[in-house]
């Protein structure tokens, strides 16, 4: 399973550069990972709570007028993280490994560009995002 960190940034008059957008994506990833690692040291249920309460707040803090960051996934729990139409083709290509890049930059419109960057799923991620989720944890997630 792949979760994507995404950034949508405006390219009009070079308000935000691609490198600024990448910096925001990395900051989001690092912040979320830090919070989840702390929570997982307590237990997976605590990590679920962090995901439910802190992820949106962290994302909001890192976003600004010109750079909006977020996460999307096929196996989503938050409807706000739904894959957008402009992302679908590129996500399919990334999943099929037809694209071998760290990220993809996409022209969404005349004034917006987007970046899709996969998050590499690690073993610890599968405790909540895998197929064999414990019953106790499954009830917390749902």
Cα separation, 66 vs 83, in Å, equals 20
**Each residue's pLDDT tens digit, 16-40:** 788 888 898 899 989 988 999 999 9
DSSP character at residue 96? T
Residues 133, 135: Cα–Cα separation, whole Å: 6
Residue 101's pLDDT band (boundaries 50, 70, 90)? confident
Place of tokens 């414990």: 134
Q: What is the per-residue pLDDT across 110-128, written as a single tens digit (0 to 9) for each? A: 778 888 888 877 777 788 8
Q: How do the residues of the chain divide into helix, strand and coil, expressed in percent and rounded to 5?
A: 50, 20, 30
């Amino acid at each position: 399973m792949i979760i994507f960190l995404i950034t949508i940034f405006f390219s009009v008059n070079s308000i935000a550069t691609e490198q600024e957008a990448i910096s925001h994506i990395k900051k989001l990833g690092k912040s979320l990972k830090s919070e989840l690692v702390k929570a997982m040291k307590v237990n997976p249920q605590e990590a679920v709570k962090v995901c439910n309460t802190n992820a949106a707040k962290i994302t909001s803090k890192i976003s600004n007028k010109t750079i909006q960051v977020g996460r999307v996934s096929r196996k989503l729990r938050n409807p706000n993280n739904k894959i957008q139409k402009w992302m679908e083709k590129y996500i399919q290509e990334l999943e099929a490994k037809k694209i071998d890049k760290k990220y993809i930059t996409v022209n969404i419109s005349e004034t917006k560009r987007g970046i899709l960057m996969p998050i590499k799923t690690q073993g610890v991620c599968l405790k909540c995002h895998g197929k064999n989720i414990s019953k106790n944890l499954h009830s917390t997630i749902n």
